[in-house]
Amino acid sequence: MRVGRVAGVEVYLNNFFLALLGLFFVAGVLGKGLIAFSVVLIHELGHVAVARRLGVHVSDVELLPFGGVSRMGGEVVSDPSKEVYVALAGPATNLLLVGTGTILKNNGLWDNDLVLFFLHCNLLMAVFNLIPALPLDGGRVFRAYLAKRTGFNKATYRSAWWGQFWGVLIIIGGLTGLGMRVSGLDVIITGMFLFYASTREKNQAPYHFIRHLLQKKDELVTTGVLPAEPLVTFDTVRLGSVIRAFLPQRFHLVLLLDHSWRYKGVVSEAQIIDALLSKGIDVPIGDLIKIPRG
């Protein structure tokens, strides 16, 4: 559901968050629900502010329980350092709000029951989002770390898998706490949100990977220079297998051998991406050396 436009960015409210606000209303503590909404919104605006500072375009923000998803340009994932800075901006914003709220409370400028909820909400938001699991901020930092070693695609799947794992763990913990009457439905909804959001990230991984590859071509055009990364493979290996080894901020040159270990040629990453888009992932890479160079 669209709730408005803030700083030129469209803001949407996810159904899971609507359900959580409904629980606050039923429990007669809607004021706390509105504080939770504000905390999540400011958390996401922290991401937006740093992203724009780094030259990353942000189109819209979707608010979910204890976090959100900002739709950003592909340059944020093609450069792992940018992804780390943008991801950490959210928890850092929450910790800044904790400091501000504490100062107001200690000086008697905000002295009621809601200030403690405000502080707890921000602390929980910061800590929860540092879990190394997509789509949480810690998961984006974890993916940026893995991407430099395993490639963007494998890093995304692994980080999303951890998101599903933590989602199931939180749901089980929430059900146990509900049965023991030490927690409410909000914990279960949070686990459901995390499992749902991480599954969505996993399903969108191929799309994001293609964007990542295309963005790298643009990056080479813009900078003029990228470090080269050599790879060696047999000419019968399919493109889908080759691109899994591609690393961020590296331009790959693939040396081809036949199964008698004889040299067949060299194919550039740009040729591979073009062939991937026009012919698909099942084309043997050896077919590319038959394509005339323009």
222 vs 153, higher pLDDT: 153
| pLDDT for the residue numbered 77 | 63
Q: How confident is the model at residue 293 (pLDDT cuts 50, 70, 90)?
A: very low
As annotated, the residues of the chain forming the CATH 3.10.580.10 domain(s) are 226-290
- Per-residue burial over 24-44, b if 16 or more Cβ lie within 10 Å, else e, is beeeeeeebbebbbebbbbbb
Q: How confident is the model at residue 31 (pLDDT cuts 50, 70, 90)?
A: confident
Q: Report the chain's terminal Cα–Cα distance, integer Å.
A: 48
Tokens encoding 96: 């800044």
| pLDDT for the residue numbered 204 | 82
Residue 230: CB atoms within 10 A of its CB come to: 10
**Mean pLDDT of all residues in 212-218:** 72
User: Taking a C-beta distance cutoff of 8 angstroms, is the pair 107, 135 a contact?
Assistant: no
Q: pLDDT tens across 152-167, in order?
A: 888 899 999 999 999 9
- Looking at domain 226-290, its CATH class is alpha beta
Q: pLDDT tens across 269-279, in order?
A: 888 888 887 88
